[in-house]
């Protein structure tokens, strides 16, 4: 019997609700370790939802530690794995360079289309029989007849039984309601299903622009493989050329800073993501510099508009019994540093490492998941807060103001606590806690 199989938990049935970035990465790694894993994804197929994804050095290290970085890169288009920093330009007038955020050679990033990432994981690294599309989770209950088992109910009338449920079902998480309500009924109103997900007062317009069209239109701001950002009052625009440099991903952010977070609700009938005319986006950035006008003028006639939600206030716990949250379901944050996916992968890494431990068994599994929560919550919330602060700096609401000098002071090393985090320390801390409370033997 291998070390991975020596713990009884290795025979457990693991259900992962949500087949996004962190859910699939967790599934692949657990499956490779010998676990019986089923992934339930609400969509019927992977498409362009989310458009692009950027993974910082911490996220790249997490993928590497899970043993799926190299196989993943072999299945992705060439040129997506390289050293980058971040370029900040003024969005007004002459677009002067405000700050060049450096990246050291030992800090690689990965940028790609989200669909390519998910397709590579799901179709080539995961057992095809392990992913179930068109399965929207409606509720989870603890079995009254089978001790330790969990019943999962889907909107299509089907059910599934598992020993462990991992909720990677994003900001609209149904599983989060099970955690927050401590087992109260989860069926019913959408407000319950999205509990703790509040409107961030920020909308994001997303789309792709042909690289050649930008050049032909006279776009003068230097374009490279590095992410860049136009900063300005209450708004900013992030853009990056995707290899082989035929498309440019664009995300334009607009925030209302006049109301406190969580106090403004969108109409009940409003959708989280909708398509709006391009001229609505252009009006939002009226008066900005010439390259901004060119960039936004080349966006599709219908632009995807995201009314961003975040988890607020922070959850007191990511787990309950044999159910745990990871990724946006646990700590959905603003995307201003591109750190959300990385936090989900850090969550997945610690979960996989703990579940694989030979000391982990069916009896101590709730304590193991609770320790995962205790370790991850402070880290994820710290990243949530620095992501929020970054957006304020980009939008001229930083502590040192909107002058080039003030912006440089606020931007310097803003990514350092995210990129340089010690992932191994998470596991060490968890093991120390589990030994201290008697769940693991010394």
Q: Report yes or no on 97 lying in a domain.
A: no
Cβ atoms of 276 and 305 within 8 Å: the answer is yes
Q: Is the domain of 277 the same as that of 342?
A: no
Q: Is the domain of 183 the same as that of 203?
A: no
Sequence-distant contacts of 412-417: CB under 8 A, at least 24 apart: 412/99, 414/101, 414/337, 414/386, 414/389, 414/390, 415/56, 415/86, 415/101, 415/337, 417/382, 417/383, 417/386
The parent domain of residue 354 ranges over 3-81+108-196+312-436
Q: ∠ CA 199-204-209 to the nearest 5 degrees?
A: 165
Cβ atoms of 310 and 203 within 8 Å: the answer is no
Q: Is the domain of 129 the same as that of 11?
A: yes
- CATH of residue 52's domain is 3.50.50.60
Return the beta strands (E) in 228-290 as ranges. Answer: 228-232, 235-242, 247-255, 273-277
What's the pLDDT at 48? 52
Q: Is the domain of 7 the same as that of 137?
A: yes
What's the pLDDT at 53? 75
What is the number of alpha carbons within 13 Å of residue 291 lying toward its C-beta? 23
Q: ∠ CA 334-336-338 to the nearest 5 degrees?
A: 95
Task: Give the β-pairing of 86-90 and 137-142.
Answer: unpaired
For 148, residues 6+ apart whose C-beta sits below 8 A from its C-beta are: 163, 322, 362
- Cα(354)–Cα(371) distance, rounded to whole angstroms? 9
Query: How do residues 277-317 score in pLDDT, each as one tens digit?
Result: 999 999 999 999 999 999 999 999 999 999 999 999 999 99
- Cα(338)–Cα(365) distance, rounded to whole angstroms? 32
- Cα(347)–Cα(341) distance, rounded to whole angstroms? 10
Q: Is the domain of 296 the same as that of 331?
A: no
Q: Is the domain of 290 the same as that of 391?
A: no
Q: Report yes or no on 98 lying in a domain.
A: no
- Cα(300)–Cα(259) distance, rounded to whole angstroms? 31
Query: How do residues 384-436 score in pLDDT, each as one tens digit?
Result: 999 999 999 999 999 999 999 999 999 999 999 999 999 999 999 999 999 99
Neighbours of 48 (CB within 10 A): 12
Cβ atoms of 324 and 166 within 8 Å: the answer is yes
Question: How many domains are there within the chain?
Answer: 2
What are the residue ranges of helices labelled H in 66-113?
69-74
Q: What confidence category does residue 192 fall into, taking pLDDT thresholds of 50, 70 and 90?
A: very low
The SS3 of residue 171 is coil
pLDDT score of 79 more than 60: no
Any idea which residue has 């995962």 for tokens? Answer: 372
What's the pLDDT at 154? 97
Query: How do residues 139-170 score in pLDDT, each as one tens digit?
Result: 999 988 887 899 999 999 999 999 999 999 99
- The tokens of 195 are what? 């509990």
Q: Report yes or no on 404 lying in a domain.
A: yes
What's the pLDDT at 74? 81
What's the pLDDT at 108? 74
Query: How do residues 168-178 score in pLDDT, each as one tens digit?
Result: 999 999 999 99
């Amino acid at each position: 019997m291998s070390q991975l199989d020596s713990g009884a938990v290795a025979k457990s049935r693991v259900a992962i609700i949500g087949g996004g970035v962190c859910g699939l990465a967790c599934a692949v790694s657990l499956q490779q370790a010998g676990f019986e894993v089923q992934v339930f994804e609400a969509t019927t197929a992977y498409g362009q939802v989310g458009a692009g994804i950027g993974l910082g050095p911490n996220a790249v290290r997490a993928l590497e530690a899970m043993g799926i970085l190299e196989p993943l890169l072999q299945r992705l288009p060439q040129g997506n794995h390289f050293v980058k920093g971040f370029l900040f330009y003024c969005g007004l007038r002459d677009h002067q360079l405000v700050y060049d955020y450096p990246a050291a050679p030992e800090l690689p990033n990965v940028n790609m289309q989200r669909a390519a990432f998910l397709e590579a994981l799901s179709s080539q690294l995961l057992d095809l029989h392990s992913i179930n599309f068109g399965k929207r989770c409606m509720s989870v209950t603890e079995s009254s007849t089978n001790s330790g088992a969990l019943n999962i109910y889907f909107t299509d009338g089907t059910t599934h039984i598992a020993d462990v449920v991992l909720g990677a079902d994003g900001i609209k998480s149904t599983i989060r309601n099970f955690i927050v309500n401590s087992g109260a009924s989860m069926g019913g109103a959408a407000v319950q299903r999205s509990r703790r997900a509040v409107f961030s007062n920020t909308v994001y317009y997303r789309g792709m622009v042909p690289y050649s069209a930008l050049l032909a239109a006279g776009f003068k701001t230097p374009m490279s493989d590095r992410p860049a950002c136009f900063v300005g009052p209450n708004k900013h625009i992030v853009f990056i050329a995707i290899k082989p440099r035929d498309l440019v991903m664009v995300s334009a952010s607009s925030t209302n800073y006049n109301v406190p977070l969580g106090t403004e609700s969108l109409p009940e009938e409003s959708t989280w993501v909708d398509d709006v005319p391009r001229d609505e986006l252009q009006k939002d950035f009226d008066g900005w510099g010439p390259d901004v006008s060119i960039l936004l003028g080349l966006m599709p006639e219908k632009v995807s508009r995201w009314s961003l939600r975040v988890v607020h206030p922070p959850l007191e716990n990511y787990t309950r019994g044999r159910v745990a949250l990871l990724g946006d379901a646990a700590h959905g944050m603003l995307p201003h540093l591109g750190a959300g996916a990385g936090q989900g992968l850090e969550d997945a890494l610690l979960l996989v490492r703990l579940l694989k431990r030979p000391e982990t068994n069916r009896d101590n599994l709730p304590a193991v998941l609770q320790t995962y929560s205790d370790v991850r919550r402070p880290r994820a919330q710290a990243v949530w807060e620095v992501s929020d602060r970054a957006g304020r700096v980009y939008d001229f609401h930083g502590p040192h103001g909107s002058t080039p000098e003030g912006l440089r002071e606020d931007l310097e090393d803003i990514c350092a606590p995210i990129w340089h985090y010690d992932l191994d320390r998470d596991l060490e801390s968890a093991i120390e806690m589990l030994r201290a409370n008697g769940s693991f033997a010394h």
